[in-house]
Structure 1
Amino acid sequence: MEFKNLGFLSGILTPIWLIVGVTVAGALYPGYSHFNQALSELGAIGAPTHLISPMINNYPLGVLFALFGTSIIKEFPYSKLARFTGVLIVIHGVGSITAGYFSCDVGCNPQSPSESQIIHNLSGLVMFLSLVIASGVWVHLGPKLVESKALGIFSLLCTLLAIVVLLPMILAIESGLGFGLYQRLNYGASVVWVSGLAYVLFKRNSSRS
């Protein structure tokens, strides 16, 4: 299998890997609430899944994102915008690995955050911005570059969902109620977008072979 198709398959796999990894880690964390608790709490300092969560989530997902982003760069050598989105997805992968290595503090919302918490938060911000910007760019690139209006509409819907749930997610930080749900919708929209784009590019590349 050529490298580009391997990268596209990696992109298709990301939401499946995320769901399985988070489900397994959550099952190993007694009392963990997917509805109320942040994803990062699975790898927080002092959490029962502190060591295993980044090993089955952040690190392998980071590699999958990096492979997919690199394949986009290779697939569109003459499109600066497409290559830019590939770089953003690679950056997202690096952010995932960094967020896994630098764990958040207990509860992930301390009044006096540690250096590890600060780096974790910055990594999370980079992860959010990288995929939201990339998906926003593909609203334009879908119809123009790969002649797929459906991909453009899909990219728009995923981008809007990721942005719209930001406000309730932020409001839920203090109360803690529903934060996990809003965060999963926020990140899930971007990861599903990655998978959708990867599927379109995999089919496109395979049809030329």
Structure 2
Amino acid sequence: MTDAQVRLWLGPLAAVLLFTGMFAVGLMIPGYSHVRQTVSELGEVGSPGRLAFSVLLLLVAACLIVFATGAAATLRAAGCSTLPAGLVGAMAISAAGVGVFAFPQPLHNVFGLSELVGYQAPLAAALVGRSVPRTRPIRTFSFVMYALVLLALAANMTTLHRHGDLWLHIQPVYGVVQRLLFAAWFCWCAGYAVLLMRIRRLG
């Protein structure tokens, strides 16, 4: 296994680490509900899980950075743009910022909004490499996952208008809605890593 292939495994590891970590930190907070409450509440100022949540997001960010370097090396070797890898790196920076600056610090929301840049990584992966036939499975998978990311983003945007009928239905399960967005992006990240490994094996 090459060094780049090892680095690609950090993509799936980031996904597993995030979701197992969120569940574990939730256990530290009496009465916390993954269904109703936001992820930010795990590490907000005054929360028993604040330190653990910060460490978790910094670890996830580190995994994403290492994965991005492996993705960039693989894309470059295949003759493709490294833009998707750069956007994964942007997501890493956003995740680190969210972890370091606990809610309600103003920078928490700034870094949270900056995740919109990283959420474009599946779109970039769907568009690059069109002249390279062996990237077709990656492009198809990324297009489907980007559609799911957009749907999840749309559902999350209901927080901007909290007086409509739609919000009344979403509010009791907003924790799930928010996690669906993370799930869509990190599932893409894990699947993208596996497909990139295949590209490397094919040479």
Q: What TM-score do you get using the length of structure 2 for normalisation?
A: 0.85
Partner of 2:165: none
Any conservation in 2 of the 1:142–1:151 contact (CA below 8 Å)?
A: no
- Percent identity reads 22
Give 1:206 shift.
3.8
**Aligned pair in 2 of structure 1 residues 144, 184: CA closer, same or farther (>3 Å)?**
farther
Give 1:75 shift.
2.1
**Among 173, 197, 207, the residue aligned to 2:192:** 197
Any conservation in 2 of the 1:172–1:178 contact (CA below 8 Å)?
A: no
Partner of 1:111: none
Deviations 1:102-126 (A, max 9, x none): 0112xxxxxxxxxx2x211121122
Q: What TM-score do you get using the length of structure 1 for normalisation?
A: 0.83
**Among 112, 115, 128, the residue aligned to 2:116:** 128
**Aligned pair in 2 of structure 1 residues 144, 188: CA closer, same or farther (>3 Å)?**
farther
Partner of 2:42: 42
> Aligned letter for 2:121?
A
Deviations 1:158-196 (A, max 9, x none): 111111122332325746422111111111101110100
**Aligned pair in 2 of structure 1 residues 189, 179: CA closer, same or farther (>3 Å)?**
same
> Aligned letter for 1:150?
P
User: C-alpha distance in 1, partners of 2:77/2:9?
Assistant: 22
Partner of 1:109: none
CA RMSD, aligned part only?
2.2
- The gaps in structure 2 that reach 5 residues or longer are 163-167
Partner of 1:170: 157
> Number of residues paired by the alignment?
195
User: C-alpha distance in 1, partners of 2:131/2:112?
Assistant: 31
Residues 145-154 or 5-14, more deviating: 145-154
- The answer to whether the aligner puts 1:32 opposite 2:32 as a matched pair is yes
- The answer to whether the aligner puts 1:155 opposite 2:154 as a matched pair is no
Partner of 2:103: 104
Give 1:5 shift.
1.4
Residues 158-167 or 186-195, more deviating: 158-167
**Aligned pair in 2 of structure 1 residues 146, 6: CA closer, same or farther (>3 Å)?**
farther
User: C-alpha distance in 1, partners of 2:133/2:29?
Assistant: 43
Deviations 1:114-149 (A, max 9, x none): xx2x2111211222321x211012222366446243
